[in-house]
């Protein structure tokens, strides 16, 4: 386990953030995309890089944390390699999302929001993903899977248990 205080941005991440800072009319606008860069590197948004982001953007450290904790996509704690998010808003609910979530919990042996002991999969629910025409719908990290049947969901979880890279990535 890495000591939190040792969590440093890589040169590449810093470069990306510096580029973002220059992109906007006001450097502060780069906070959200910069935090995406942080999450890309660490899998979540730890505290030390938040301070680094603040220093690069020349804003107060607290201003970054206020933002990081407001937006749901930034994980404040480490999560599994793959985060499976089941949409549980109305249209997916009408077409069986609760059943998918129950199925996932049972299959993975974790509660909603929990991570498998091997750190491979985190199962969570999510508010409407704007894919209601393909309900129920899930995301694996940032990738969508549409019209998910229980059998497909089972297969997805099986695949993710062994996967090294996100098999559902579509360029």
Partner 1 sequence: MSVINYKSNQIFPPPPPSGDPTYQYILLKHRVVPGLRKLAVYQKEGGYEGLKKALNDYQPGQVIDLVKQSGLRGRGGAGFPAGTKWSFIPKVGGAKYVCCNADESEPGTFSNHELIENNPHQLIEGILITCYAIGSELGFIYIRGEFARGARVLEEAVKEARAAGLVGKNILGTGFNCEVIVHRGAGAYICGEESALLESLEGKRGFPRLRPPFPAIAGLYARPTVINNSETLCNVPHILRHGPEWYANYGTEKTKGFRLYCLSGHVERPGNYELPCGTTFRKLIYDLAGGVWKGRKLKALIPGGSSTPFLAATDEVLDTPMDFEGIAARGSMQGSAGVIVFDDQTCIVGAVLRLVEFYKDESCGKCTPCREGTQWLVQILHRLEHGEGRPGDLELLLNVGSNIAGKSFCLLGDSAPVPIESALKLFREEFEYHIHQGRCMVGPGANRPVTIGAAH
Partner 2 sequence: MADLVTLTIDGQRLQAPKGATIWQAAKDAGIFVPIYCYHPKMSPLGACRICLVEVEKMPKPMAACTTTVSEGMVVYTSSEAAEKARAGVMEFLLINHPLDCPICDKGGECDLQNYAVEYGREAGRFQEEKRHLGKAIELGSTIVLDRERCIMCQRCTRFCSEIVQEEGLIIRERGRLAQIGTFSDLPYESQFSGNVAEMCPVGALTSRTYRFKARPWELKHTSSVCPHCAVGCNIEIDNRLGRQVVRFMSRENEAVDDGFLCDRGRYGHGFIHSEQRLSTPLLRKNGRLEPVGWDEAFSFIIARLQQICQQFGSKAIGGIAGTHNTNEEFYLFKRLINDVLGSPNLDHYHGHFSSLNPEQVATFHTATIEGLDSAKLIVLVGVNPSVRQPIMELRIKKALKAGAKLIVIGPNAGALERFATLHLHVPMEQFSPAIGAIIAAMIWRGTAKGFEDPSINQHLQSVYGNFQTGDALSHEINRAASLLSKAETCSILYDEVVTQKAANADLVRDLINLVLAAGQFWSEGHGLGLLTADNNATGVRDLDLLPGQGGLSYAQMLGLKGATHLKALLVMGANPLQHVQKQNKALANLELLVVQDMFMSATAELAHVVLPVASFAEKEGTFTNWEGRVQKVNVSLPPLQGTAPDAAIILELASRLGEVLDIRTPSQIFDHLARISPLYKDMSYTTLAGKGQLRPLIREADEIEVPDWLQRATLPTPEILRQESEEYPNGLTDLLDAAPSVDVGRVRRAEGDGGTAR
Using CB under 8 A, list all residues that contact partner 1: 23-26, 28-33, 35-36, 57, 59, 63, 66-67, 70-74, 88-91, 93-95, 126-135, 139, 142-144, 146-147, 170-171
Helix, strand, coil share (%) of the chain residues, nearest 5: 50, 10, 40
Binding partner selected for residue 103 from partner 1, partner 2, none, CB under the kind-specific 5 to 8 Å limit: none
Binding-site partner at residue 170 among partner 2, partner 1, none, CB < 5 to 8 Å by type:
partner 1
143 binds, among partner 2, partner 1, none (CB under 5 to 8 A by kind): partner 1
Closer residue to partner 2 in complex, CB, 62/167: 62
Scanning 58-170, the segments in alpha helix (DSSP H) are 61-68, 90-94, 97-108, 150-162
Name the binder of 127 from partner 2, partner 1, none, CB < 5-8 A by kind. Answer: partner 1
CA pair distance 151, 61, nearest whole angstrom: 46
Partner interacting with residue 128 (select from partner 1, partner 2, none; CB below 5-8 Å by kind): partner 1
Element (H, E) at 51: helix 47-57
Closer Cβ to partner 1, 2 or 109, answer by number: 109
Q: Contact at 8 Å (CB) between 79 and 43?
A: yes
Is 120 within 8 Å of 80 (Cβ atoms)?
A: yes
CA distance 103 to 9: 38
Q: Return residues touching partner 2 (CB under 8 A).
A: 47, 50-51, 60-66, 69-70
List the beta bridge partners of residue 85: 124, 139
Nearer Cβ to partner 2, position 4 or 118? 4
Closer CB to partner 1, residue 9 or residue 126?
A: 126
Nearer CB in complex with partner 1: 2/76 = 76
Cis peptide before 136 (omega within 30 of 0): yes
């Amino acid at each position: 386990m890495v000591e939190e205080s040792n969590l440093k941005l890589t040169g590449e991440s810093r470069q990306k953030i510096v580029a973002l800072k220059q992109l906007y009319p006001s450097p502060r606008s780069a906070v959200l995309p910069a935090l995406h860069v942080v999450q890309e590197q660490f899998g979540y948004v730890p505290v030390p890089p938040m301070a680094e982001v603040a220093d690069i953007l020349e804003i107060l450290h607290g201003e970054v944390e206020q933002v990081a904790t407001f937006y749901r996509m930034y994980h404040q704690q480490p999560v599994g390699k793959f985060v499976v998010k089941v949409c549980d808003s109305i249209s997916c609910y009408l077409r069986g999302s609760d059943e998918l979530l129950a199925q996932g919990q049972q299959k993975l042996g974790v509660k909603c929001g929990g991570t498998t002991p091997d750190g491979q999969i985190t199962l969570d629910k999510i508010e409407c993903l704007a894919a209601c025409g393909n309900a129920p719908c899930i995301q694996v990290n940032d990738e969508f899977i549409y019209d998910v049947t229980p059998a497909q969901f089972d297969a997805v979880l099986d695949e993710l248990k062994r996967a090294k890279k996100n098999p559902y990535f579509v360029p």
